[in-house]
Amino acid sequence: MQMKKTLKLLTILAFSMVVITACGNNNNQAQHPFMPFSANAVLVYVAEVEATGQSFGYTIFNAFIRDNRMQRSLLMDNGDVIIEVMEYQSGSLVNILTGDNMDDEWINPHGDITHLPPTTNFVILPENPQLGDSWRGNPQNPASNLREVTSVGVSVTTPAGTFETIEVTTWNSEGQPTLRTYFAEGVGIVKETGLSFANGIEEISHTTRLIEIAEEGLFGNIHIALPDDYGVMPLMMLQFTTNNDLVDVLNSALVQATDILFDRQLASDAYINRAFINPNTRNLHLDFSAGFLREMGDTPDYETERAILLAIVDTFGSLLNAQGVTITVDDQPYNGTFVSFGSMEFWQVGAVVAQIHQMNVERQEAEALLVAQSLHQPFVDAMATAYTQWNDGSEKDDLRPTLETIFTPHFADDFLAWYFDPEVGLGFEAAYFPWHPDNITEVTVFGNDLFLVTSGDYLLQFAMTEYGEWLIDFIGNL
């Protein structure tokens, strides 16, 4: 739990400090030499925690640029999203909003929040920073961490290239450096090193490096929530660019999805008029054109029309992190041939995904049962044969051919202490396992591995190699 909290803090810290590259159209913004606002800029970072060797990656994308403000999205490898708004103030760059200091815990990751009032005032860099310049992160708080330009002309090499940088050091209240950040002119942050102290000795706690710079916008996959017979949802790819209008993004997705949803292309007058999310209910409101309703009129039955609407609800609702979706047509409740929406009615997001998950679980369980049944009987037969041979006076080595029908031929060589006891069954490494066929209480298959539970709740794993041989492992006692 502590490591998880540490990683989250490192992530938020890194995100709060990262600067976007200067590439693409700058929309005529006033530009800080070390912190330009850049349309369609995408930066990819990797952070490494020194103590554990653990690493995680994240991508920063410039989502919206409005006058003197820029909204950025930090997309973690694990799917988490952090939103941040930066503002130019008299030449300085200031963090005025982040996902952690907004009143609402939930936020639409593709929504524009540049218009919201500031909730924080953290100065990233002053205007024209020079060697020796220092400032408080929060100028109104004397206890805020001190930041200082501690070096200039520092050459830094990362997977993204070699850069000449300025070094900014952040100091804690005890006068110890906690962070060193390296800014390249026209680029932003290219490297960041977190520091800690053990017995007064400075140590590196984590290092973040810029590994890639792109300037063509952000691509992402989204599932179309209409599964095939195997419970698989097709993927479509969306591209997001700076100042993307939400309706344009959704209509692009609708065009890509129509072959799957309708098995044909829709008419040009079938589209989404408006789309917005109620921040209080977290429900997405989709208003379609009359042409869309006409196209839906060609659906043959209730099940088909409902399946298409559910797929739209789950696909678009999941993309925008909404809880529910309301569908209207020209601002009137959707009233189709077989399905209608009541006034203000919404459908819960996730119904299709839940059905698919249950279907996949049931299918996997059925397949596992078939495999288990096919493996169980040969195992029981072989063990019964070995049991009979032992009772008839066979020596250990005489049982090898029988046991090798279910175990790898290397088994007897790897476990020379194995034996077969008429009372309890087969054993090895000075341990008794009741493997007599009558004592097998459960057989389960997961992937290519067979798990046996015996009386006494011993759990044993048999892994099939690529050569069709069985390897055995004693997991423990349940």
pLDDT digits (tens, 9 = 90+) for 360-383: 767 766 665 565 556 556 666 666
pLDDT attached to residue 43: 93
Q: CA angle, corner 27, sides to 279 and 85, nearest 5?
A: 35
Alpha carbons 478 and 470: distance in angstroms, whole number: 22
The pLDDT score that the predictor gives to residue 446 is 59
Task: Give the separation between CA 382 and CA 390, rounded to whole angstroms.
Answer: 12
Give the pLDDT band (50/70/90) at residue 453. low
User: Would you state the pLDDT for residue 382?
Assistant: 67
Helix axes 246-261, 302-319, angle to 10 degrees: 140
Are 462 and 470 spatial neighbours (Cβ–Cβ below 8 Å)? yes
pLDDT of amino acid 436:
45
| CB contact at 8 A, 179 and 192 | yes
Percentage above 70 pLDDT, the chain: 69
The model's pTM is: 0.68
Residue 263 has pLDDT above 70, yes or no: yes
Mean of the pLDDT values across residues 150-160?
96
Give the model's pLDDT for residue 227. 83
Which of the residue ranges 144-153, 301-310, 469-478 would you say has the lowest mean pLDDT? Answer: 469-478
Encoded amino acid at 187, one letter: V
Rounded distance between C-alpha atoms, residue 320 and residue 326, angstroms: 13
Q: How many residues does the chain have?
A: 478
Among the residue ranges 34-48, 51-65, 209-223, 403-417, the one predicted with the least confidence is 403-417
pLDDT at res. 324:
94
Give the separation between CA 34 and CA 22, rounded to whole angstroms: 9
Residue 284 has pLDDT above 60, yes or no: yes
Q: Which of 147-151, 269-273, 429-433 has the lowest mean pLDDT?
A: 429-433
Position 214 pLDDT exceeds 70: yes
Q: What tokens appear for 285 in the block?
A: 């409101």
Burial of 400 (0-12, 13-18, 19+ CB in 10 A): middle
SS3 410: coil
DSSP 15-35: HHH------S--TT---BTTB
Q: Residues 318, 322, 328, CA angle at the centre, nearest 5°?
A: 100
Higher pLDDT pick, 327 / 416: 327
Helix (H) or strand (E) holding 295: helix 290-296
Let me know: does 166 contact 147? Beta carbons within 8 Å. Answer: no
**pLDDT at position 469 over 70:** no
CA atoms within 13 A on the CB side of 280: 0
The answer to whether 426 and 411 are in contact (CB under 8 A) is no
For 28-33, the CB contacts below 8 A with 24+ separation are 29/65, 29/67, 29/68, 29/70, 29/88, 30/68, 30/88, 30/91, 32/88, 32/91, 32/92, 32/93, 32/125, 32/127, 33/128, 33/185, 33/186
Q: Which of 193-202, 366-375, 426-435 has the lowest mean pLDDT?
A: 426-435
Instruction: Report how far residue 22's alpha carbon sits from residue 187's, in angstroms, rounded to the nearest whole number.
Output: 5
**Helices and strands counted in the chain (H then E):** 7, 26
pLDDT band at 13 (very low <50, low <70, confident <90, very high): very low
- Cα–Cα–Cα angle for 77, 63, 5, nearest 5°? 35
Q: What is the pLDDT of residue 391?
A: 66
140 C-beta neighbours (distance < 10 Å), count: 7
- Report the distance separating Cα 417 and Cα 284, nearest Å: 65
Most confident of the following: 91-105, 256-270, 353-367: 256-270
